[in-house]
Amino acid sequence: MLRARVTITLKQGILDPQGDTVRSALAALGFDGVADCRVGKFVLLRLTESDRAKAAAQVEEMCRRLLANPVIEDFRFELEEIP
């Protein structure tokens, strides 16, 4: 069995109002050292596929078709063996 850890973030140049709000809130709490903040999504998938190449192709397709919006978001993922 494999686990996919998928991270989805807005592309550079796309405004991130949620990230701006978090950065402002951190500054209000005294954390002045944060120059920028981007907020994204994290998806954890447990896959029944054991072949890493097939699993990677499936996760790639999942991201392109549903999990991420390819127009405004980038994604990356890692596969790991789970017992």
- Structural domain span for residue 64: 2-81
Mean pLDDT on 1-23 = 97
Torsion of CA 68, 70, 75, 79, to 10 degrees: 70
Tell me, what CATH number does 62's domain have? Answer: 3.30.1280.10
The order of strands in the sheet holding 73-81 is 41-47, 2-10, 73-81
Residue pLDDT, tens place only, 23-54: 999 999 999 999 999 999 999 999 999 999 99
**Number of independent structural domains in the chain:** 1
pLDDT of 83 > 90? The answer is no
